[in-house]
Amino acid sequence: MTSVSPPTESRRAHPAGVGVAVPTGGINVRIVATGLLLFMAAVFVTAKYYQDVHPAVGFVRAFAEAAMVGGLADWFAVTALFRHPMGLPIPHTAIVPRNKNRIGDTLARFLLTNFLLPRLIARKMQTVDVAGAVGKFLSQPAEGGGRLRLGASRIIADGLGALDQQRLGGMVKSAIADRLRELDVAPLLGQALQAALAEGRHQPLLDAMVKWGSKTLDLNEHLIHQMVHDNSGAIVRFTGLDESISNRIVAGLSKLLSEMAVDETHPIRIRVEEGLAKLALDLQHDPEMQEKVARVRDELLDNPAVKRWLDGLWEQGRGALLRAARDPETMLAGRIGELVTQFGAMLGEDQAIKRTLNRYARRAVVGAVDSYGETALKLVSDTIRGWDAKTITDRLENAVGDDLQYIRINGTLVGGLVGVLIHTIDIWI
């Protein structure tokens, strides 16, 4: 006895998200199965009418009669899985809708006990080279990195566009300000000043200060003359000694600044350097000095001008990032692209880093399955419980596809062959 096998099928996306089997020939198999059953009924009636014409007609009648029985039996069985046949509340029919909650729970438990076991996931992850795949993708992206560039730019641009600008900006600026407040500035300044003194980088600064002092003295000689004049007695002013004193003061200061400008070992410069060295040590080790610097830091961060500067900094950074993200050709160009490529090559070549990353990925996946496996499967169970009877019936029928109708067709043909066999045995006996 033979049975009809379904033709090659293609899968298409069902609106509900379930794959629906569709015969490539576009044949409605349900109509074919029903039509075959009706055809067998017509053959049976015709054969019964002409059964006395020839003995062979009896075989035709037996085939059609048994085919109807087989086809009806399989129709009943297939229909009873999903609904009540002909709408009659026959016991043990509409099996799937009546047991949808149990089916959901059983399916979730089946997935948990057979697939989402941490030891099975860990064993499978042993063969997965996550680091190698990531490294290959980053170092040798297809078509010159088009896929990576397009994907990265689209994700970043869509993400920035979707986030609330004011809220995101506030979060970023608040995060920057908080990090700056947590930063211990004084030791950093002290170390930087100490390094500058050790390498002589402070000398140009002292030279500039001396030059500035000389220019300031030249521009304000009249103030010194006026001060000496105002603080001199009447006799000194009468004799003109105030003018001589002020000239000597100006000349002395000018000479002092000139000597400091050409002599890096000048005593005053040495004293300034000693003061700077002490300041560097205090910044690194004196709690009182560090507290003063911290207060200055906090006052600066609370200053409206600094807040406006942070606002402008955020807007400039966000605008630049959006412009780069919307241009895939520049997203990974230049130094950023080189770094990404180098990182990908390193992942592919450095075995130690590869083992570390793969181990981390394996532990992360296994940990996620162990922690959230029950939650994920409860989602499956609760989703199926939330479906109504028609939804779960339609989705399961669509998932099985036309194979259900081929059961009816095969049942009709097999039943007919069995009927011919029984009729043959009956004649022989």
Q: What share of the chain is helix, strand, coil (3-state, %, to 5)?
A: 80, 0, 15
Q: Tell me if 46 is assigned to some domain.
A: yes
Q: Tell me if 391 is assigned to some domain.
A: yes
- Per-residue pLDDT tens over the stretch 206-235: 888 888 988 888 888 888 888 877 787 777
Q: Are residues 92 and 189 in the same domain?
A: no
Q: Are residues 298 and 188 in the same domain?
A: yes
Q: Are residues 298 and 391 in the same domain?
A: no
Helix axes of 389-400 and 403-428: crossing angle, nearest 10 degrees: 70
Amino acid in position 105? D
If pLDDT is split at 50, 70 and 90, which confidence band does 39 have?
A: very high
Provide the whole-model pTM: 0.40
Domain count of the chain? 2
Q: Are residues 192 and 288 in the same domain?
A: yes
Determine the pLDDT at residue 13.
Answer: 38
308 — phi, psi (to 5°)?
-65, -35
Q: Tell me if 166 is assigned to some domain.
A: no
Q: Tell me if 278 is assigned to some domain.
A: yes
Q: Tell me if 409 is assigned to some domain.
A: yes
Q: Count CA atoms within 13 Å of residue 196 on its CB side.
A: 17
Burial of 179 (0-12, 13-18, 19+ CB in 10 A): exposed
Q: Tell me if 90 is assigned to some domain.
A: yes
Q: Tell me if 91 is assigned to some domain.
A: yes
64 vs 57: CA distance, rounded Å: 11
Q: Are residues 400 and 294 in the same domain?
A: no
Q: Please identify, among 256, 272, 302, the residue that sits at the C-terminal boundary of a domain.
A: 302
405 vs 28: CA distance, rounded Å: 9
Where b means 16+ CB within 10 Å and e means fewer, 108-135 reads beeebeeebeeeebeeebeeebbbeebb
Give the mean pLDDT of 62-88.
84
Q: Tell me if 420 is assigned to some domain.
A: yes
Residue 231 lies in domain: 184-302
Q: Please identify, among 302, 328, 358, the residue that sits at the C-terminal boundary of a domain.
A: 302
Q: Are residues 293 and 400 in the same domain?
A: no
Q: Please identify, among 302, 330, 359, the residue that sits at the C-terminal boundary of a domain.
A: 302
If pLDDT is split at 50, 70 and 90, which confidence band does 22 have?
A: very low
353 vs 132: CA distance, rounded Å: 10
